[in-house]
Amino acid sequence: MSLTETLSTLRLDRSRHAAPQVFEKLRELIVSLELAPGTVLPRPELAEAFGLSQTPIRDALLRLSEEGLVDIFPQHTTEVSRIDIAAARQAHFLRRSLELEIVHVLAQRDDPLLAARLQGHIDMQRASLKANEYAQFIAADQAFHREMHEAAGMMQLWELEQRYSGHVDRLRRLHLPETGKAQRILQDHQRVLDAIVARDAPRAQQALREHLSGTLNQVEDICRRYPDYVRAA
């Protein structure tokens, strides 16, 4: 699919500033791998697709560059970056460190409403998997983890994690289609939730540690299968 075709269905909310929306939409396409590593992003073509001048396009691309998701070659071109394995490992370390503390905090509480909300996200993942709706599955996965951050009063840390997550999120997208991977994610989420409900902090942390380690443990295999998508550490 050409870049124009990929962008053809995108619409902006004219009541909001344009550049943040362009950033959000391009970031989503990059992280979902709809815009694969190496895809050229010409500013004139982007401006035409979004119905904008090149100024908000430039601003959005600069933000993507700050997150390492595009490579800007001055006076030449802009391309979707390869997945940086070193950056992915650091983002994983940050997320694991924070979420281990978050599940420890949540396991100290008796909060049936939180448990019901987390179970709802797991049920949504299960339904999405049954329908082979992987985009919805991933959205519910994100919602599960975001819910835990919000319950712990750590939303600023969630936003921080998201700014560094682009590379590791793309690795996870490559890993998700592996046979049994999605089912393991479901099982891991249920184990984390069950331990929180049981107020068993060590078990919740162990379940989370195992859950978050899955993709990084397979990184060498992912690199072998997708050599054009990755930049080795």
pTM, whole model, 2 decimals? 0.90
Cβ neighbours for 54, distance < 8 A, ≥ 6 positions apart: 43, 44, 47
pLDDT at residue number 151: 98
pLDDT at residue number 35: 95
pLDDT at residue number 155: 97
**What is the spatial distance between Cα 18 and Cα 223, in angstroms, rounded to a whole number?**
36
Q: What is the CATH number of the domain that holds 99?
A: 1.20.120.530
pLDDT at residue number 13: 83
Put residue 146 in one of left, alpha, beta given phi > 0 → left and psi -120 to 50 → alpha. Answer: alpha
pLDDT at residue number 193: 98
At which of 41, 60, 80 does a domain end? 80
190 and 122, same structural domain?
A: yes
199 and 117, same structural domain?
A: yes
**What is the spatial distance between Cα 171 and Cα 229, in angstroms, rounded to a whole number?**
9
At which of 31, 62, 80 does a domain end? 80
**What is the spatial distance between Cα 191 and Cα 210, in angstroms, rounded to a whole number?**
10
Q: Name the β-bridge partners of 230.
A: 83
140 and 56, same structural domain?
A: no
Low-confidence stretches of the chain (pLDDT < 70) are 1, 232-233
Strands 70-73 and 77-80: antiparallel
Q: Name the β-bridge partners of 129.
A: none
Domain that holds residue 130: 85-226
91 and 41, same structural domain?
A: no
Domains contained in the chain, number: 2
31 and 103, same structural domain?
A: no
Q: Name the β-bridge partners of 78.
A: 72
pLDDT at residue number 232: 67
Cβ neighbours for 140, distance < 8 A, ≥ 6 positions apart: 121, 122, 124, 125, 128
97 and 74, same structural domain?
A: no
168 and 73, same structural domain?
A: no
Q: What is the CATH number of the domain that holds 8?
A: 1.10.10.10
pLDDT at residue number 209: 95
167 and 135, same structural domain?
A: yes
Q: Could you tell me if residue 231 is inside a domain? A: no
At which of 49, 80, 111 does a domain end? 80
106 and 65, same structural domain?
A: no
